[in-house]
């Protein structure tokens, strides 16, 4: 049984939310400065002085200051990578990954404590069924240990973890009037996680401990592919033409293709922060002087040197979100020699991310076998997370299980509330 009161903390690859349980009822806390319930999981270090911001304030300051300084996101995705121990930040010195994540968690805890008017030291933190970049049991343990250290550095004293899809299940359970066998799908920024679980209505005086419910959990699974991957896929399939794809450069007496590894690196926003090193700069300058399409290399150089990755990928993200409601949208971006007005249709987007359906289906089928259940045994499908609104993904579950079984809740706070339930 957890010690009361406690926080339920959903520290996501893209966004973070926190809920509290004081009287056996989860309550989501508005932690954004505008009163919203989620903030971006980001850090911004000013180019001058020893100043940093986190979350929504980091984004606002970064844009206001012309995207100068050091902006970091997707830190959660580095947790299993032992090779990434930390980085040097001007004014702050060497910072470990745990230090960086702790800066975000401390800020979230401080805002939540201030909102409640009391300090709460106990926390249940959500973890995915499979971390981004998780290779095996050992790398998973590394990820959990690092996240535990970061939580302690942030000021929490009692820290426990629970799977995010199971937390989402407990959130959905609060709405039930009869028992159900439910498949939960939690689509975050970095991972897509699933669980098959028996759920039942809760009486008003009933308190469930996570550890009392292990017999209800029939199977879990996940893949390290989700919303951020889809944004990167759009960059790879639709926009690389603006940054050198298809062009060539002269090396002595040979004509060579633009290095593919450079193009693939810029498809992930988090890589851009590390491409200002001497080796990358030297390579890009060489290409600029020897390419048959110097304008495209100039755009690549500007993307990296002027810290334009965040703003460009936000434009891609905006177009992607519009495709959940519209049949077509445009990626519009104009900044520092980069001008993009690229149409993308829902059919194109579906074709770009269609590969994920087979991966999802493989996980679901394996879970059904492990749970000793058939498709028809599943009584409800609860989908949450930003990418759960993607028509292609939703239609997969409709076709496999039936439209009447599909349920949804708050896409961005259900896990936090479930962790605090």
The one-character DSSP state at 259 is P
Q: Which helix (H) or strand (E) holds 341?
A: strand 338-345
CA atoms in the 13 A half-sphere facing the CB of 385: 33
Q: Are residues 343 and 264 in the same domain?
A: yes
- Give the residues of the chain that fall short of pLDDT 70: 1-3, 203-212
Whether residue 380 is contained in a domain is answered as no
Are the C-beta atoms of 346 and 371 separated by less than 8 Å? no
Q: What is the pLDDT of residues 68-90, one digit of tens each?
A: 888 998 899 999 998 888 888 98
Residue found by looking up tokens 């249709």 in the block: 345
Whether residue 253 is contained in a domain is answered as yes
From start to end of 180-272, where are the E strands?
180-187, 192-199, 217-223, 248-251, 254-257
Q: Are residues 134 and 272 in the same domain?
A: no
Q: Looking at residue 218, what is its pLDDT? A: 96
Are the C-beta atoms of 229 and 236 separated by less than 8 Å? no
Whether residue 197 is contained in a domain is answered as no
Q: Are residues 109 and 256 in the same domain?
A: no
Whether residue 405 is contained in a domain is answered as no
User: What is the chain's alpha carbon radius of gyration, rounded to the nearest angstrom?
Assistant: 22
Q: Looking at residue 192, what is its pLDDT? A: 94
Q: Looking at residue 48, what is its pLDDT? A: 85
Q: Are residues 30 and 173 in the same domain?
A: yes
Q: Are residues 47 and 157 in the same domain?
A: yes
Q: Are residues 49 and 149 in the same domain?
A: yes
Residue ranges making up the domain that contains 147: 6-177+412-419
Q: Are residues 150 and 278 in the same domain?
A: no
Q: What is the pLDDT of residues 181-199, one digit of tens each?
A: 999 999 998 899 999 999 9
- In the listed set 352, 369, 390, which residue is the last one of a domain according to the structure? 352
Q: Looking at residue 137, what is its pLDDT? A: 86
Query: How many domains are contained in the chain?
Result: 2
Cα 387 to Cα 116: distance, rounded to the nearest angstrom: 31
Whether residue 27 is contained in a domain is answered as yes
* Phi-psi domain of 273 (left: phi exceeds 0; alpha: psi -120 through 50; beta: other): alpha
Q: Looking at residue 207, what is its pLDDT? A: 46
Q: Are residues 115 and 252 in the same domain?
A: no
Provide the whole-model pTM.
Answer: 0.88
- In the listed set 332, 352, 372, which residue is the last one of a domain according to the structure? 352
Q: Looking at residue 278, what is its pLDDT? A: 84
Encoded tokens for 267: 């498809």
Whether residue 374 is contained in a domain is answered as no
């Amino acid at each position: 049984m957890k010690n009361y009161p406690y926080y339920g903390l959903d520290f996501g690859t893209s966004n973070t939310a926190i809920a509290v349980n004081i009287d056996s009822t989860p309550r989501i806390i508005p932690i954004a400065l505008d009163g919203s319930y989620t903030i971006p999981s980001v850090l911004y270090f000013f180019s001058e002085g020893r100043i940093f911001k986190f979350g929504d304030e980091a984004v606002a300051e970064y844009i206001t200051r012309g995207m100068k300084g050091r902006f970091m996101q997707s830190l959660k995705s580095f947790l299993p990578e032992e090779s990434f121990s930390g980085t040097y930040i001007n004014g702050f010195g060497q910072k470990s990954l745990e230090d960086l994540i702790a800066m975000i968690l401390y800020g979230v805890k401080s805002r939540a404590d201030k909102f409640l008017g009391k300090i709460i030291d106990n926390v249940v933190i959500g973890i995915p069924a499979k971390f981004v970049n998780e290779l095996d049991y050992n790398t998973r343990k590394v990820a959990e240990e690092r996240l535990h250290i970061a939580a302690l550095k942030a000021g929490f004293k009692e820290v426990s973890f629970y799977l995010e899809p199971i937390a989402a299940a407990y959130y959905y359970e609060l709405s039930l009037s009869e028992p159900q066998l439910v498949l939960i799908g939690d689509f975050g920024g970095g991972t897509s996680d699933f669980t098959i679980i028996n759920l039942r209505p809760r009486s008003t005086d009933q308190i469930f401990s996570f550890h009392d419910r292990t017999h209800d959990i029939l199977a879990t699974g996940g893949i390290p592919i989700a919303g951020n991957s889809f944004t990167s896929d759009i960059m790879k399939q639709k926009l690389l033409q603006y940054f050198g794809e298809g062009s060539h450069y002269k090396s002595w007496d040979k004509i060579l293709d633009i290095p593919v590894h450079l193009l693939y690196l810029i498809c992930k926003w988090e890589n851009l922060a590390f491409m200002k090193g001497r080796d990358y700069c030297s390579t890009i300058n060489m290409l600029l002087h020897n390419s048959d399409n110097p304008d495209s290399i100039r755009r690549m150089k500007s993307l990296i040197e002027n810290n334009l990755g965040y703003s460009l990928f936000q434009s891609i993200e905006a177009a992607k979100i519009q495709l959940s409601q519209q049949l077509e949208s445009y990626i519009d971006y104009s900044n520092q020699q980069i001008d993009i007005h690229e149409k993308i249709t829902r059919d194109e987007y579906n074709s770009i991310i269609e590969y994920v359906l087979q991966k999802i289906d493989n996980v679901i089928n394996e879970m059904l076998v492990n749970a000793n259940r058939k498709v028809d045994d599943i009584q409800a499908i609860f989908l949450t997370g930003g990418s759960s609104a993607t028509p292609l993904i939703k239609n997969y579950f409709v076709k496999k299980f039936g439209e009447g079984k599909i349920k949804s809740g708050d896409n961005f706070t259900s896990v936090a509330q479930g962790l605090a339930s």
